Every structure is written in C-alpha cells, then in structure tokens.
Amino acid sequence: MRVIRLLIALACLAAGAILGALNRQIVSIDLGIGFVPATSLGIALIVALLLGALIGGLAISASVVLPLRRRLSRAERAASAAPAPPLTGPEV
C-alpha cells in the first residue's frame, strides 16, 4: 500500500512539474476583490486546482461527514442509555 501511495505522489509531482514547465506565460489575475500580480500560468493553474480540491473537500465534509457524525453520536447515546437485555438460556 505504501508503494502505491508513493507512486501516486510521484506521478502527481511529475504532472505538476510538467504543467509548470509547459505553461510559462505570464498572467495577472483579477479576483474582483483583489488582484494577483504577474505569475506564470502553470503556477496559477496548480494553485487553482489545489484550491478547488480543498473547497470541494470542505463542502463534502460539511454536507456528508458532519451530519453522519452527529447521527452516530446520537445513536451511541441512545444505545448507552438503553438497558441491557436480560440473558436467557444457559450461561456460558
């Protein structure tokens, strides 16, 4: 499993290096509320990709993971508050 993760990390690193090397044009980015001075297109693309992945992960966490955690904690509290059922049959 570690080897697969290492290979995926190296592939992503290589893809980022290639993306940066092939897109050397200088761009300026106007964000509406701010302005990013001249940077290379490769760096702007990589930063946009990373920000998109981060924002998407946060959105999934807020919409799926947090409600499931609340539901699990409620179920655990309900299970701990309920009395244990009596044992029937021969004791082992």
Q: Is the pTM of this model over 0.85?
A: no
Is position 86 within any domain? no
Is position 88 within any domain? no
pLDDT mean over 13-27: 88
pLDDT mean over 63-79: 91
Is position 87 within any domain? no
pLDDT mean over 34-56: 88
Is position 57 within any domain? yes
Domain extent, residue 53, equals 2-79
Percent of the chain topping pLDDT 90: 39
Q: For position 1, what pLDDT does the model report?
A: 81
Structure tokens at 62: 């807020």
* Residue among 51, 49, 70 at smallest CA distance from 59: 51
pLDDT higher than threshold 70 for residue 92 = no
Distances (CA, A) of 72 to 58, 61, 64, 66, 82: 20, 15, 12, 10, 15
Per the structure, the count of domains in the chain is 1
pLDDT band at 20 (very low <50, low <70, confident <90, very high): confident
pLDDT mean over 14-23: 88
